[in-house]
Amino acid sequence: MDLAEVASVGGFFALRTEAPSGAHVPLARIYAGEDAPLTFRVEKVAGALGAPERRVAASIAHLGLAARLWSVVLGPAALYGEILDLPAADLHWDADLSSPDDLWLAASRTLPGTADRIREVVQTGHLVPLADSLRRGGPVSPALLWGNAGSALAGAARELRAWALKNGRPEVGERAVRLAAELLRHPDLRSTGTLRGAAFRRRSCCLYYRCPSGGLCGDCVFDHPPSRSSDRPGSE
């Protein structure tokens, strides 16, 4: 597995395997209740975007981290048919950094790059406890967070497909889309949106449009930003 080639797909696909000089902490500590790093990240996102309320910043912070987690696993699976295990005790995160410097894997063990293994590593190992950790700090719709997870997965597959076409490796893109489709059939993800080829349309909104400079994402459930009167929990 060539991690440099995986990283060439884009910054979200890069994963450090050598200890960096930063404030990286094992994600296991955050999942276990050490809330300070996640609170810092949400507040940093809120300040950068002018988010009007915590749930908006929490959603955008979650979407970014979910995209990182899917990407560093789906990339090797599509390219090489194997993945790196990402136990939460060994995967370190610096809440003040962005990709490619935010994630560091302290130990590496390869696993088969099947959909079942990817689901076990990313969805069960990280996305479930990450959502629980975010909700400790305040209410965020579970449907919104699962929608973010589905959107992030489809986005990773789309990036891999674009890279594959550009580099004359169509089989890599086909494998990425096929794996994403299989992962999206899981009960927690199947209602998050519709995947047609590499195009995804989600059934919820990440709330980015509520930021002063925000708008609708390319896969948003809305065709136009809703009015505040129609911004109800059920619409997210």
Average pLDDT, 10 consecutive residues per value, the chain (236 residues) = 94 89 90 95 93 91 96 97 96 93 91 96 97 92 93 94 95 95 93 85 82 77 65 42
Q: For residue 84, what are the contacts with CB-CB under 8 A and spacing of at least 6? A: 1, 15, 72, 73, 76, 105, 108, 109, 110, 111
Cα separation, 218 vs 8, whole angstroms: 23
CB 151 within 8 A of CB 201: no
Cα separation, 62 vs 134, whole angstroms: 8
Give the model's pLDDT for residue 228: 54
CB-count burial class (<10 Å; 0-12, 13-18, 19+) for 96: middle
Does pTM surpass 0.85? yes
Question: What Rg do the C-alpha atoms of the chain give, in angstroms?
Answer: 17
Give the model's pLDDT for residue 202: 87
Give the model's pLDDT for residue 235: 39
User: Which H helix or E strand runs over 112?
Assistant: strand 110-112
Give the model's pLDDT for residue 215: 78
Cα separation, 102 vs 107, whole angstroms: 16
Here the tokens at position 134 are: 């975010």
Give the model's pLDDT for residue 90: 96
Cα–Cα nearest to 236, from 168, 152, 143, 164: 143
Cα separation, 37 vs 134, whole angstroms: 11
